[in-house]
Every structure is written in structure tokens, then in C-alpha cells.
Amino acid sequence: MSNWFILLPEIILAFTIMLVLIVDLISTSCQRLWLGVLSLVGILLTVICLWIVPSGAFGEAFLNDGLARFIKSIVLLALLLVVLFSWDFDKVWGRPLGEYLVLLLSSGLGILFLASGTEMILLYIGLELTTFPLVLLTAYCPADKKSAEGGLKFLVLAALGAAVLLFGFSLIYAAAGTTQLQALVPALIQTGNTPLVLMGLLCILAGLGFKMALVPFHMWVPDAYEGAPTAITAFLSVAGKTAGFVLAIRILATGFPVQVSEWSRIFAVLAAVTMCLGNFAAIPQTNMKRLLAYSSIAQAGYIVMGLVAFQVLGLSSILYYLTAYLFANLAAFGVVIAVERSSRSVELSAYHGLAMRSPRLALIMLLALLSLAGIPPLAGFAAKFYLFAAVYSEGYIWLVVLAVLNSALSLYYYLKVIRAIYIQKPAADAVQPVTVPLALTIVLVVTTFGILALGVYPSPIVDLAREVVVLFLTP
Amino acid sequence: MEQIGSYTTIFIALGVGVFCLAAGIFVSWLVRPMNPTPLKMEPYECGEPAIGPARVKFRTSFYLFALVFVIFDVEVVFLFPWAVVFQDLGLFAFIEMVIFIFILLLGLAYAWRKGALRWR
Amino acid sequence: MINHAWIIPVLPLAAAVIVALAGKRGDRLAGSISAGAIFFSLIISLKFFAAFLVNPAAKEVSWVWLKSAGNLTLEVGMLIDPLTVIMLVVVTFVSLMVQIYSMGYMAEDEGKARYFAFISLFTFSMLGLVLANNLVMVYMFWELVGLSSYLLIGFWYHKPEAANAGKKAFVVTRFGDLGFLIGILVLGYFLNTFNIIEVGTAAQTGKLTGGLGTCVALLIFAGAVGKSAQFPLHIWLPDAMEGPTPVSALIHAATMVAAGVFLVARVFPVFTASDTAMLVVAYVGGFTAIFAATIACVQDDIKRILAYSTVSQLGYMMMALGCGGYFAGVFHLMTHAAFKALLFLAAGSVIHAVHTNNIWEMGGLIKRMGITGTTMLIAAVALAGVFPFSGFFSKDAILFAALDAGRMDLLVLGIFTALLTSFYIFRLFFVVFTGKPNSTQPGHESPAVMTMPLMTLAILSLGLGFFAARFEHFIVASLGANREILHQHNRLVPMFAFLAVLFGFGWAYLVYFQKAISATLLTRKFSLLYKLLKHKYFIDEIYLFFVRYVMLVVSAGLAWFDRQVVDGAVNGVAWLCRRMGAGIRRLQVGRLQAYIFAFVLGLIVLAVSLLVTHPDVMAIIP
Amino acid sequence: MMITLTHYLVIGCILFAISMYGVFTRRNAVALLLAIELIMLAVALNFTAGTRFLGDAGGQIFAIFVITVAAAEAAVGLALVIAIYRNQKDVDLDRLTILKG
């Protein structure tokens, strides 16, 4: 066992989790501050040694390559920001912070494994390790009817999705006789596209579709997002999606490059349906969390196009898009959390005249939404530019046209929010400015900076993503 | 795998079966009238009034114990393969297993501390 | 030096951000901050102006922004040539004047901070639009300009008509912008560049000929029509007057509405490459000019008169460009910016004093508002185009351009428009400033902070014209291809123009100035002149009848277009989207079983699709 | 007759279909979870059969993991249901429809 070193980031995070658990056991409630500090330090250490440890494989199951490193960085950043989101979670929601952090970190750990897994078992474990904590976190406030209901729905559908994915795995295993993704390729070439293989692939696609929240496997998203505590919604929308897409890239790119014609065609259709449905359904929403949920479905529709254009350009633009999406979405949710803290409401009416009450928050929300809509010169525009260009160069003209039209359509509801913030009169009782705690301020500053920087000067991240993907596709 | 191919029929049949099932449920869900009168809601349609609640209530504590038991019971599954080949694995695997069990114990301790094992 | 040009737009942006972030607390300083920022921008712009007077060669600086692996590249950069520097100076100067003025005008408005933030944002986007070196950036700033104008029109959002006017402006211009966007994309698709210089050279080397060239030019022109309020998309401008008057002066008189003209001038080679396009531009402009002028003759709202006058003058510029009069168009843009901004600010000062927009409720204000009245008179004379005021030279140039192009019809049309122009503007002046003070509340002169900009602008509208020749060489130099300036200098054109102006003035004088004093005096004293007076009344009757008729047709037509075409289309689309949304929303029934059903249904659909796409699998079924 | 891998797979598919039926017809969250557990069992069966016929140990290991994860899933599900039951006194899925639209 020479190269344990490669597992170091995961190990550190795992020990952080246990440490937080122990501290939570022995500490009295007054020391709760340590829990947050501890998890922050743990995450930071993980990030650091993520970039120290060399690339390489641990056994046949675990590969720490550039792609994994990129995705892990995104996820850990999201984790960091979400921990800051929920700095005084127990005060706001009146539920214990220790378990909350443990669950959150475990979910992050699961995604780390997803990002590195090259073997079905590990991927499956990683998937479940990602999902269960998220389910529990969604239903973390069972006293709140919405939270309970969202959690239950999420649980059942997640179990179903995972089971279907697993069933697909088992069929593929029965056909190819191996759980190694690389080893699948020759085996499947030898067997050819037998019905067994096709059914397996089909079930896997369905499972992935669930994780990426593609129509028609998306039904859980709005309810789970609305039910979950807002910080968790943010984590779901960013890290959860990232997990789904890295899982898809790992499985399909490593295991099924031969069947690309099968799944890229399916994904093209799913992408089209998903973006249309997400955008249309978002228009009549008046609950910010729900609106953002549908917008995230639409975003997933865009991102999947990168899988359709299954080439260096496509995959690298997925990575870039995920990064831009992280900043924009977390900024938006940061404002939502801030407003929720002050007015206990996530309805659109709580945002009326926000520009007059607290202009900074209003400006950040404006930037975030415009970036999500893909307005230059913000991060979202650059991301859409690369993504659409990639798909265009792969010859899916109709898909690009549809995506552009959808982006225009999405402006409809983003502008609705902006209008509420800037044009409409604040409610009589909501005139005092929204107070923003320090932790939240840090998140907002970081994300806003990200939105602007990625939009104005995207080349470093783009080049990084490109070289990572090149290495990934040509081992 | 060519003998698989000849069984396509079965897979197709299954697919079709599932489809019919789904379609049936969907159609009935579409067309069925939905007016639950209290009489309809009676457990016995012969009109015999039901005495007492239909479902016997267990204390949720039972479930809690069941949960804890199930988890620790099943995790032990991992001990068997390890124990079988313990001789040739040597120290390293031993340490691994110790860590594994330590984590399990941590969980148990947590459940204990949080009062999941107290009979309420 | 060129590398520092970015400072010019960034200063107002910084001001906007600062003021916006300061929020309520920054109320007192808001005006000074944004005005100070724009002041420094003006200084820098003037430095550029001086530098380019020496050496008018165009300079460009640009960096690659986004580069996809295809040869698709977006660059961010600045193109500075005489046209640019002129626009820079115009925008920064007028903006400065307006902001100083606004400090007085908006003094007791509680939304001051918001106001100055918006106006700085607008200035930033306008400057960006002027500096941009490629059409994509132009489009970005184009939309940003539209957005900030929308925000400023609807500034008093609690006034429903203001909110609606803002929405209307936003929507109507959308139509033009859509054409503009498509035009840009087509251009990029065929030339695969967005760089303005490259596009220009491509057009001059005949890469944009025939149908394609015409189509691209017309698509871009659609954008210009929307922004510059040319017929038939002019309908938003009069309503836009719901905004604060300084805003009207800055955005809806001097700068933004001129953006359309600027755009046409910017890609002038694309237009000159296609005669059809030029023809369309010329006639759309000409028609708009006369059409709006007739309407302006009969309005009662002081700001609406000026609004229609603006539309008409913009039509004038378009006509000039369409006749190949590049210099004429740009020069008129300049002079017009000066005197029209002055007109609006003066009107604002009047409204500020008497709290009404209706000219018939004013009168005799000259005695009480000396400075405002005098400056407005200067502006009026300039607009009418009387020698030696600036308007004279630019209007002259336009008429010459029409003459050079050999479009006699447009020439006549232009001269007639000049007549109407001088009529309605003097009508405005006489009714508002002369005659008996019949407004109950006594007007008072505005504070110095408001009159100072008036006087500054008055000096400009007086003196700008004398540099016509200087500007001509300067501006034409920017056309890359050195076109020699040809007029056959016949004295007739200015003669006719001047006669037209005189006639218009006389008409207005007789109708609105004499009448005021005659009613009491003449009828009693000289019964001999009674016939004459009667005769005048007779003219008045005809005139009134004629006016009513025109108004009826025109306004009915506009109302129809507005209700049926614009609102219909827009509301239709929006309604459709909402319906779709509501329908799809109903799919999310909330019952878990339904979700599971959708999941399995998706699974089955996938299965079927796979089976269908694999006939070999189907074939195995016995 | 000779029992081949395919027979096991068919059994697995049948189990899958049955559990699908259960998923559709059950209204009680716990029963729903049980139905989903059935899919896991089908998977475990497939894997063990695969190991038996293809001679690759991976399947067995996978089966073990599947079983444990299934247990964990059941545990999470039950815990959730209990928590919800304590608060809402109701786990009938047809009545959980606050979140919709």
C-alpha cells in the first residue's frame, strides 16, 4: 500500500467529520462556535492537500486526476461557503448544529469520492453517501411541514433513482463481467450492443438523469428545494448538480465511449425538453426558492448540452459552466438567506423595494440573476458562450438555437425579480434595512467577486478546464 | 452472450408489461370518479361499523431500537470476508478493520449520548 | 494616450456604483459625486478632442475577451476617431450640464440618490457605446442604454403613466433592437468578424453587395429606427416625456436618441455599399422629419412639442446620412444636442416655476424669467436655423447634402420642414413668454445652479456654427476613404431656407403675438384695420380646421398602431409564455405517486426510443 | 435443463417489475421503501449470479455493499418517517401535498 498519500484529502475530511462529531458529543452548547471553526479548518486543509497530493490511482477504484481535482475544488468551495451560510443555523432554525455539519460534510465527502471513482462500487457508495445526508438535511426541521414533506419525497425518489442506477450497473456487470469502468470498454466492444447492455445503459441514464435533474426525472427538485432549509437548498443546487454531472462524465466517458451515439442522442432530446420545461415552469413562480429551483433545472438543461457535444470543448465548457454557476447561484441564495433572516419569508413580495432598503444586497442579487441569465460581461455569459460554441461546433445547430431562445425566455422571470427589487414599492412594514451577519457578508463578497472576475477575465479557468479535460480524454 | 439475445423476448415482454401496468394505473387514475363519502371510507363495506382504530399503534421507541440494531447488525457483514482471509491479510487489514469498528463505535456512542437508546 | 480612454466611461460607472451603494445616506452628496466624475470625463474627452484635431487618424486598441476553439472571437476594445471624440465631448458635456441642472431641479425629490445613480449609469453606457470597437460591444451598451433610459423614464414609478411610458419605450425599442441583433449575427456569420473597422473595409471592398448587404444594412437600420424614434417606431418618445425633464434633455433630446444616427454613421460604409439602404434611410428620415413637424405644430404640452421637434430633427439627420451627407448628419447631431438640450432645460425651468406643462396656462413669463426666456429664445432661433446661429449651418449642410444627392423632393421637403419648425418653435416661445401673464401662480426665475447650464448651452448654440468648415474637414477625415467635399455653392438653397424660416416666424408672430395685443386695442381704435383682423381670424380658422383634421388622422393612426401592433404583439407573446408556464406548472401536482409515475414513464420512453433506434433488437422478437 | 445466468437475470427483472408494481400501488411511505428495497435485492441477486457465472469477485463484494447500503437506506427512511410521524401524526403520502406547482 504505497500510495495512501493519494487518499489524503478524503481522509482529512473524514477525520474532520469524526472530530466534529466527537466535539459535538463532549461539548456543551456554549462551545458551538468550535464546530463551525473546526469544519472550516478541515475543509481548508482538504483543499490545500488536494493540490499537494500527486495525480495517480489508488488501486483500480480511485483515480486522482485533473478532472477530479477540478471538481473537488468546486465542491469544497461550495462546502466552505455553505458552512458559512449556516454559521448560526441553530439560532435561526432552532435545530442542533453539530449533526447538521456532520451530515453536510459527509455529503461533501461522498461527492469527493464520486469525482474520483473509476469503479462501480465506489461510485455507488459515493452516490449514496452524497444522497442520504442531503435527504436528512432536507427534512432537518420535521416540525416544519414543508421540510418534512420535501424530505420524504426526496427520500423516496432518491432511493428509486439510486436503485434504478444500481439495477443498470448489475445488468452491465452481467454483460461485461467487471465493475471496472475502463475494463468495460473492451468487454462491451466484444459483446456488442446486446439488449442486456442497452437495458443496463438505459437504467444508468435514468439514474443519472435523476441526479442531474433532467426532465422527466426532475420532479423531486422543486419540492425538495422548497422544503429544505435555504442553506441546504443552495448546497443541493450547486454541489448536488456538480455531483450528478461528474458522475455522468465518469461513467459515460470512461465506461461507455463506444455507445456515445446512443446516449448523446438521448441527452440531446432530454436537454431540449429540460431547458424548455424549467424556464416555462419558472415564469409563474412567486416563491424565490422554487423559482431558483426551476431555474436550476433549466441550467441543468444547458449543461447537459456539453455532454451531447462529447468532446474536449464540450466537457471543458461543462466544467467552466459549473464554476460560473456555483458563484452566481450561491450569491443569489446568499441574498435569499439574508432576506429570509430579516423577514422570515422567501416570497417574492419580501423583495419589493429591496434596492431602497439595502442597495448592496439588491446589487448582488441583480448581478447574480443577470449572470444566471447570461448577460455580458458576467460569468454566466462567458459560460454560455463557450458551451453554445462547443455544441455549435459539434453540429447541433437546432439545439443551440433552442438554448439561445431559452436564455431569452429566462430573462422574463429573472427580470420579474429584478423589477420587484428595483421598481416596486416596499411593503409598509418592511422598511428597515436587511442586516447581514459577517459570515454571510464574506460569502456574498467572494461570490460577487467570482461572478465579475470569471466574466471579465475567464481565460485562466477556461485554459485549466481545457487541459484537464484533454488529459482526461487521452490517458 | 449470444444466448442472451434469444431471451430478448422476455425483456421486451417485461418492458411491455411494465408499460401496460403503468398505463392501466394512469388511465384508471384519469377516469376514476373521486368523491370519497364517509361511508365509502369505512373499512368494511358491508356497513359493519369499525370499532377502535384500524392500525395498532406501536411506540416509536420500538422503531428506534430496530433501526440501531439493523444498522450495527448489517455492518458486521463486512467482518466475515475479513475474518475468513484474516491470516493472509496481516496487520494492515487489521488496522483498517480497527478503524472501521472505531467508526461504528463512534456512531453507537453518539446514538447513546443523544438518548436514542433511552426508553421513552 | 489611447490606452487611457477607458477612464472616460469608467468614471461615471464608479460614480453610479458609489451612489447606488451609499443608498439613502448618500443623498446629499449624490449629485456632486456623479457630476464631479462626469466633469473629469469631460476634461479627458476634451484632451482627446484636441489631440484628434491635430491628427484625426483613427486609433484602435483591443484585447481578446472570449475565444472559442472555433474562429469565433469576442474582443473588448476601443475605436477612437473624430466621430468618437465628437460624441464623447457631446455626451460628457451635455451630461455635465444636465447633472448640474438636476441638482437644482431634483433638490427636494426623495429619490435623488437613485436618480443620480441611474443618470451616471446611463452616461457610462452611452460613453461605452460610443467607444466600442466591435458591434457586439455596441449592442451590449446599446441595450444598457435602453435599460437605463427605461429606469429613468419610469423614475416616478408611483405615477402609473410614467411606469407605462417606461415599459412602452423599452418594448417598442425592443422591436428595432431585435432587427439590430439579427443584423449583427448575420454580419458576423458572413464576415466572421464583429470589428467595426474590418466590417467597414469589408463593405468598401465589396464583400457586402447585393441582397445581403442591403438586408444587413436595413436590419441594422431597424435598430437605429427604434432608438432614434423614426417612423413608425417613434411612438415611444412623446410618452417618454413622463420622466423628469432633465432626463428628457439628456436622453431623449441630446444623446440616446442620437445613438441611432451615430450607429448609422458608425457603420456608414455598410450603408453606402447599398443604394437601396441609403434610399430607405433618406426617405424614412425625410418623412419622419415633416410628419413629426406637423404634429409638433398643434401640441399643447410644452414637452411634447419639443419631443416631436426632436423626432423631426432626428429625421433630418437620418435624411442627411441617407443622402450621403455624413458631415451634415453628424454636425447637425452636434448642434442639435446643444440647442435641444437647452430647449428642454429651459422648458424644465419654466415647468419648475409654474408647475404645469400646458402652454396655454403660461404666458408673459419673459418678464419674470428673463434668463430662461432669453436662453430659450436663442435656442429657438438656433433650432429654426437663423444665420448666424448654429442651427443655420447644420441645416444648410443637410439641404446641400440633399442637393448633392440630387434628391430635389427631399430638398423641398426639408425646406418645408424648416418652415414648420420655425413656426412651431416660435409659437411655443410667443405663447409661453409673451402676452399677458395668465397663469395664476407667479413664476419665478430658477436658482443659479439651473440657469448657469442654460447660459453655457446658449453660448454654444450661438457659436458652434462658426466652426462648421473646421469640423467638416475634421469629420470627413474620419471616413477613411477621403471623399472630397462637393457642394455646388448656389446661393438659392440658403435663400429659400431663410425665406421659409422667415415665413414660419411671421406666421407664428401674426397668429400668436399680434393677436395677444390686438384683441383689446385694435378693434376699438382702428375700425379700418378691422377687416385685416378679420382676415387674420379667417387664416386662424382655416389653420385650426386644417390642424384638427391632421391631428385627427395622425393621432388616430398612431393610437391604432400603438394598440393593435405594438401592445398586441408584445402582450400576445407574454401571455403565451405565462399560459405555458401555468400549464406546465400544473404537472407538478405534488403527489409523490405522480412523480414516481413520471419517473417510470421516462424510463419506458427511453426504453422504447432505444428499441426503435435498434431494429436489430426488434428483429429478434419472434 | 441447465440453469444459465440469463435465468437469474430474468428473476432479477421480474423482481424489478414486482417492486415497480409495489412502488406504484403503495400509499404508505414505509411500504414504498420496502418496495424499493426489493429492487436492491434484485440487484444483489444479479451480482451474485454474475460472480457465479463470470468468475469475477467484484460482484460478490458489490452485493455485500448493496445489502449494507440497503440497510442504511431503510434506516434513514424509517428514521425520517418516525420523525415526520412524531410531528405531523401522518405519513400517508396522498395527504402530503403542500409542495406543488
Mean pLDDT, range A221-234, rounded to an integer: 94
User: Which chain A residue shows the shortest CA-CA distance from D37?
Assistant: A163
Using CB atoms, pick whichever of D24, D32, D97 lies closest to residue C591: D97
Buried b or exposed e, range A74-84, using 16+ CB within 10 angstroms: bbbbbbbbbbb
With cell 458608425, the residue in question is C266
Residue C301 confidence (pLDDT): 79
- Identify which of C314, C338, C170 has the alpha carbon closest to the alpha carbon of residue C249: C338
pLDDT in tens, C77-125: 888 888 888 888 888 988 888 888 888 888 777 778 888 888 898 999 9
Indicate whether C538 pLDDT > 50: no
Tally Cβ neighbours within 10 Å of residue A458: 24
Residues with Cβ within 8 Å of A75's Cβ and at least 6 positions away in sequence, in order, are A108, A111, A112, A115, A239, A242, A243
Q: Predicted confidence band at A379 (pLDDT cuts at 50, 70, 90)?
A: very high
Please answer whether residues C183 and C226 qualify as being in contact, where contact means their C-beta atoms are separated by less than 8 angstroms: no
Q: If you search the block for the grid coordinates 415482454, which residue do you land on?
A: B13
Q: Do C591 and D98 touch (CB under 8 A)?
A: no
Mean pLDDT of C392-401: 82
Q: Enter the C-alpha cell of residue C29.
A: 452628496
Bigger pLDDT: C168 vs A34: A34
Cell triple for residue C23?
443608498
Selection from A392-396, C37-41, C190-194, C576-580 with the highest mean pLDDT: C37-41
Distance CA A114, CA A62 (A): 9
Cα C316 to Cα B99: distance, rounded to the nearest angstrom: 86
The overall average pLDDT reported for chain B is 76
Phi, psi at residue C60, to the nearest 5°? -135, 145
**What pLDDT was estimated at residue C537?**
34
Q: Can you give C314-379 as a three-state secondary structure string? A: HHHHHHHHHCCCHHHHHHHHHHHHHHHHHHHHHHHHHHHHHCCCEHHHCCCHHHHCHHHHHHHHHH
| pLDDT, tens digit (0-9, with 9 covering 90-100), for C448-465 | 777 888 888 888 888 877
Q: Do the Cβ atoms of C600 and B18 come within 8 Å?
A: yes
Tens of pLDDT along C421-432?
888 888 888 877
Chain A residues near residue D83 by CB distance under 8 angstroms: 139, 142, 148
Q: What is the pTM of this model?
A: 0.81
pLDDT at res. C533: 37
Q: What is the mean pLDDT of residues C45-66?
A: 82
The pLDDT of residue C323: 85
Q: What percent of chain C is modeled with pLDDT above 70? A: 83
Query: Could you tell me if D35 lies within 8 Å of chain A, comparing CB atoms?
Result: no
Across the range C210-214, mean pLDDT stands at: 81
Cα distances (angstroms) measured from residue D56 to each of A177, A300, B2, B89, D52: 7, 37, 20, 20, 8
Whole-number pLDDT of residue A122 = 94
Name the 3-class secondary structure at C255: coil
Model confidence over A60-77: pLDDT tens digits?
A: 889 999 999 999 999 999
D39 vs C contacts (CB less than 8 Å): none
How far is the C-alpha of A469 from the C-alpha of A463, rounded, in Å?
Answer: 10
Q: Residue C511's pLDDT is what? A: 66
Mean pLDDT of chain C: 78
Using an 8 Å Cβ cutoff, are A131 and A210 in contact?
no
As given in the structure block, the three cell numbers for residue C226 are 427604434
Q: What is the pLDDT of residue C382?
A: 86
Quick check: A329 pLDDT over 90?
Answer: yes
pLDDT digits (tens, 9 = 90+) for C497-523: 777 777 777 777 766 666 544 434 434
Point out the residue among D29, D39, D56 whose CB comes nearest to the CB of A152.
D29
**Can you give the pLDDT at residue A262?**
84
CA A33 to chain CA centroid, nearest Å: 27
Asked if residues C294 and C420 have their Cβ atoms less than 8 Å apart, the reply is yes
Across the range A424-443, mean pLDDT stands at: 81
Grid coordinates belonging to A211: 441526479
Residues 6+ apart with CB under 8 A from C23: A356, A358, A359, A360, C113
B8–C600 CB contact, under 8 Å: no
Pairing of strands C59-67, A62-64: unpaired
Residue C249 CA to residue C341 CA, distance in Å, equals: 5
Q: Is this complex's ipTM strictly greater than 0.90?
A: no
Banded pLDDT at C543 (limits 50, 70, 90):
very low
Q: Are C282 and C410 in contact (CB under 8 A)?
A: yes
pLDDT of residue A44: 95
Residue A191 has pLDDT above 90, yes or no: no
CB C122 within 8 A of CB C149: yes
Contacts of A427 (CB under 8 A, 6+ apart): A349, A350, A352, A353
Q: What are the residue ranges of helices labelled H in D1-101?
A: 5-25, 29-54, 58-88
Q: Is the pLDDT of residue D45 over 90?
A: yes
Q: Give the gap in angstroms from C-alpha B106 to the nearest C-alpha of chain A.
A: 8
What is the structure's pLDDT at B53? 63
Pick from C370, C257, C243: which is nearest to C313 by CA? Answer: C257
- Asked if the C-beta of D31 comes within 8 angstroms of chain B's C-beta atoms, the answer is no
Q: Which cell numbers hold the place of A140? A: 432537518
**Cβ pair D68:B75 closer than 8 A:** yes
Q: Which of the four pLDDT bands, split at 50, 70 and 90, describes residue C24?
A: low
Q: How far apart are CA A66 and CA A64, in angstroms?
A: 7
Task: Inspect the interface and report whether the beta carbons of B12 and C604 lie closer than 8 Å.
Answer: no
Most confident of A202-211, A421-430, C187-196, C352-361: A202-211
pLDDT at C597 over 90: no
Mean pLDDT of chain A: 90
Cα C299–Cα C303–Cα C309 angle in degrees, nearest 5: 70
Cell readout for A343 is 423577514
Determine whether the interchain pair C590/D24 forms a contact, defined as Cβ–Cβ distance below 8 Å. Answer: no
Q: Which residue has the higher pLDDT, B82 or C448?
A: B82
| A168 contacts A203 by C-beta, under 8 angstroms | yes
Q: pLDDT band for A124, please (50, 70, 90 cuts).
A: very high
All three cell numbers of C519, joined, read 384683441
Is residue C120 within 8 A of residue C178, CB to CB? The reply is no
Residue C540: what pLDDT? 42
pLDDT average, residue stretch A194-199 = 86
**Measured between alpha carbons, how far is C285 from C295 in angstroms, rounded to an integer?**
16
| DSSP H or E run through C67 | strand C59-67
Share of chain B above pLDDT 90, in %: 1
Q: Is the peptide bond before A9 cis (omega within 30 degrees of 0)?
A: no
Asked whether the predicted pLDDT for residue A47 surpasses 90, the reply is: yes
Under DSSP, the state recorded for A430 is -
Q: Answer whether B71 sits within 8 Å of D21, measured CB to CB.
A: no
pLDDT at D82 over 90: no
CB A300 within 8 A of CB A213: yes
- Mean pLDDT value across residues C41-67: 83
Alpha carbon C259 to its chain's center: 6
CA distance C243 to C307: 12
Residues C204-232 have a mean pLDDT of: 83
The pLDDT assigned to C555 comes to 57
Cα–Cα distance for residue pair C398/C415, rounded to 1 Å = 10
Rounded mean pLDDT of C534-551?
A: 48
A64 DSSP β-pair partners = A56
Is the per-residue pLDDT at D16 higher than 50?
yes
Q: Where are the domains of chain B?
A: 60-114
- pLDDT category of residue B55 using cuts at 50, 70 and 90: low
Packing angle between helix C112-131 and helix C82-105, nearest 10 degrees? 170
A4 CB within 8 Å of a chain B CB: no
pLDDT of residue A464: 92
> How far is the C-alpha of C549 from the C-alpha of C556, rounded, in Å?
11
Between CA B91 and CA C510 the distance in angstroms is 115
Residue C232 DSSP symbol:
T
The mean predicted confidence, pLDDT, of chain D is: 85
Q: Pairing state of beta strands A56-58 and A62-64? A: antiparallel
SS3 content of chain C, % helix, strand, coil (to 5): 80, 5, 15
